[in-house]
Structure 1
Amino acid sequence: MTPAETPLTSKAELNAELKALLLRAYENGLDVKGAFECRNGVDHPDWDVVVTEVEKNESSE
């Protein structure tokens, strides 16, 4: 975490950060669909993140 980052303390905050990250990547031409390995060294857990595009419904903003 850099000094400018605010710690995440809720799932809602995590969701907002993920949404912003994916939107920035998409707007810059990256294909964000697929699987991503997140390796974090020996002191932290590793994660496998899978991103899929979902169909919008009428109430989507």
Structure 2
Amino acid sequence: MTDGDSSVSSERELHTRLQALLHRAHTSGIDVEGAWECRNGAEHPDWDVVVTEMEKKTG
């Protein structure tokens, strides 16, 4: 995502965008599993993001 992206206004929209981002990264061959620190400057909170692959549900 870039600074030019429109803002996210709901949890559902956040989920949809995050899902699309992870899908694009995975299909591009990027190992998306892991943890990243997201530092956002003094005016915004910092985040620790952890992505873990889950087992697919069956049935």
TM-score normalised per structure 1: 0.85
Alignment-mate amino acid for residue 30 of structure 2: L
The residue aligned with 2:10 is 10
The residue aligned with 2:41 is 41
The residue aligned with 2:30 is 30
The ranges of structure 1 where at least 4 consecutive aligned residues each deviate by more than 4 angstroms after the TM superposition are: none
Residue by residue over 1:14-36, the C-alpha shift from the partner in whole angstroms, topping out at 9 and shown as x without a partner, is 00010001011101111000101
Alignment-mate amino acid for residue 55 of structure 2: E
CA distance in 1, matches of 2:8, 2:36: 21
Q: Give the paired residue count.
A: 57
Query: Percent identity, aligned pairs only?
Result: 54
Residue by residue over 1:33-58, the C-alpha shift from the partner in whole angstroms, topping out at 9 and shown as x without a partner, is 01011110111110000000000012
CA distance in 2, matches of 1:47, 1:30: 21
Alignment-mate amino acid for residue 23 of structure 2: L
Q: Which runs of 5+ in 2 are unaligned?
A: none
